[in-house]
Amino acid sequence: MSKYNNLLKEVINEAININIPVSININPNVIINTRAKGRFGQCKRHNGQYSIEISQHLTQAEEKHIKETLAHEILHTCPNCMNHGRQWKLYAMIMNNKYNYDISRTNSCENLGITDPNIKQANYVIICNSCGRKTYKQRMSNVIKSPERYRCKCGGSLHVERV
């Protein structure tokens, strides 16, 4: 656990060193979420205090990717940055340029070099016809029923296969 707390401390210091106004009210202990399968990190605010969670699955990733996720979450502690709006994007770009990070709104298991936790329980796989990205789903949903109504992040059309 102290490994992730140390990485959080490093990332906070990196942001402070380039004058990004992260909150001073960040819990120094990273929470490892054992249930999260659809997200890699989360910033929670409660009574003016922030806590940072990372998915247990992210702990399989290289240290650089863990730091990028932690940086993504600490940027949410900056004023007017609880969403992924203009200010958050500006701070992410500054950190990306300074530290050679790849902080973005979303990420994938494939980009992080980790196994998708949803594969084991999947009944369906959604596949992009352009980039080949695969998303595994256990339950029937609107995108499974009508993939033609949806697009991949790259803009490509989708098709669904039963696993």
What are 92-124's pLDDT values in tens digits?
999 999 999 999 988 877 778 877 766 667 799
At 56, give phi and psi (nearest 5°). -55, -35
Residue given tokens 């994938």 in the structure block: 108
Question: Considering only CA atoms, which of 118, 39, 117, 37 is closest in space to residue 76?
Answer: 39
Look up the domain containing 78 and give its range: 2-111
* Same-domain status, 78 and 139: no
* Same-domain status, 79 and 131: no
* Same-domain status, 151 and 122: yes
Decide if pLDDT at 151 tops 70. Answer: yes
Q: What is the pLDDT of residue 68?
A: 94
Take residue 153 and report the two structure tokens written for it.
């992040």
* Domain CATH for 36: 3.30.2010.10
* Same-domain status, 56 and 107: yes
Q: Which helix (H) or strand (E) holds 51?
A: strand 49-55
User: What gap in Å lies between CA 136 and CA 163, rounded to an integer?
Assistant: 9
User: What gap in Å lies between CA 6 and CA 26, rounded to an integer?
Assistant: 13
* Same-domain status, 134 and 100: no
What value does the mean pLDDT take over residues 128-150?
91
Mean pLDDT of the chain: 91
* Same-domain status, 48 and 96: yes
At 158, give phi and psi (nearest 5°). -120, 155
* Same-domain status, 95 and 124: no
* Same-domain status, 42 and 73: yes
Decide if pLDDT at 1 tops 80. Answer: no
The structural domain count of the chain equals 2
Whether 23 and 50 have beta carbons less than 8 Å apart is answered as yes
Decide if pLDDT at 39 tops 90. Answer: no
Take residue 51 and report the two structure tokens written for it.
């806590």
* Same-domain status, 86 and 104: yes
